Amino acid sequence: MDAPAQTVAEIPPLEIAGVQLASRLILGTGGFHRLDELAAAIEVSGTAMVTVAMRRVEPTQQGSLIGVLDRAGVRILPNTAGCFTAREAIRTAELAREALETDWVKLEVIGDDRTLLPDPAELLDAAEQLVSRGFTVLPYATDDPVLCRRLEEAGCAAVMPLGSPIGSGRGIANPINIALITERANVPVILDAGIGTASEAAQALELGCDAVLLATAVSRAADPIRMAAAMRAAVEAGWLAGGAGRIPVRTWAQASTTPEGMADLA
C-alpha cells in the first residue's frame, strides 16, 4: 500500500465511477460574466470537471461555451438544473447525453423555488430510473444521511449533499450531518452548494468530503480569479488536514512546553 499523502503533490486523484479526476474542486460555470473570465478561473482553480446546464437555443446567444471548455481540457458534467419532476430531469439528462456524448449527469430535482432545496421523493425516483437507463448519476441532495444512503443504494456514483441553499453563501449549515454522511458512504461525497468562501471549502474536506462543487462563490466574487486560486488552495489544505489527525478540542489551555527545567528567576 502507498504511503499516506503528506504534501499537495501527493494528494490522490478523485475517483468517480472508475474515472480519475486530477482535482477535488468541481467548478460550476454559472454566473461568470464573460467566457474569458470563466476560462481563466478554470485554469487557476485547477479543476478537472465543470458543470453546464441545458436550455433552449436562443438567437442572441454569444460565444462558444463548449469551445472554451474543450480547449481547457476539462470534463463536462451536464446538470438538470431547473427541473421540478423526475420526468423533466430524465428528459433533460437524455438531451444532455445526446448533446455532450456523456452518460454522466448532475441530477437536480428541485422541490421549492425559493429555497431551491431538492425534492427527495422525485430525486430518488429520478436517480433509480436514470441508473437503470445506464446513466452515471451524481445527485444533488439535502444533507440527510438517510437520503444519501438511499441514493447510494439506488446505484448513484457519488452523493452530493448541500452545505446550505444554492447561492446562499452560508457555508456548511449542518457539519454534523455532513460528517455522518462521509463516515458511512461507500461512494464519493461531494459537498455541493452553499459555499461562500475558501474556509468553508476547506471545512468540507476536513469533514471527510472527497470533493467540493461550487460556482457562485467564485463567479460572483469581486475578484473571481483570486477566489478560484483560494478555492484550489482550500480544497488541498482541507484534504490534507482531514487526514492529518487534528488535536482534540479542549476547554482549558494545554502548554506545549512543560515548566520542567525553568530557570529560577524569581
Binding site for other proteins (CB under 8 A): 28-32, 38, 51-57, 59, 61, 65-66, 70, 76-79, 81, 91, 94-96, 98-100, 106, 108, 213, 215
CB 123 within 8 A of CB 109: yes
The answer to whether 106 is a known catalytic residue is: yes
CB 188 within 8 A of CB 158: yes
Distance, CA of 153 to CA of 10 (rounded, Å): 31
Q: Nearest 5°: CA angle at 40, between 38 and 44?
A: 120
Torsion sign over Cα 108, 111, 116, 120: negative
Closest to other proteins by CB, 11 or 158: 158
- In whole angstroms, the minimum distance from the beta carbon of 161 to other proteins comes to 16
Distance, CA of 112 to CA of 243 (rounded, Å): 37
Residue pointed to by grid coordinates 454559472: 30
Closest to 156 (Cα-Cα) out of 195, 114, 118: 118
- In whole angstroms, the minimum distance from the beta carbon of 36 to other proteins comes to 13
Closest to other proteins by CB, 29 or 142: 29
Closest to other proteins by CB, 201 or 240: 201
- In whole angstroms, the minimum distance from the beta carbon of 138 to other proteins comes to 11
Which one is catalytic: 27, 52, 78, 106? 106
Closest to other proteins by CB, 11 or 110: 110
> Which residues does residue 110 pair with via DSSP β-bridges, in sequence order?
118
- In whole angstroms, the minimum distance from the beta carbon of 142 to other proteins comes to 17
Cα dihedral: 187, 192, 197, 201 (round 10)? 0
Q: What's the gap between Cα 65 and its chain centre?
A: 21
- In whole angstroms, the minimum distance from the beta carbon of 81 to other proteins comes to 5
What's the DSSP call for residue 19? Answer: E
Closest to other proteins by CB, 6 or 61: 61
Residues catalogued as catalytic: 106
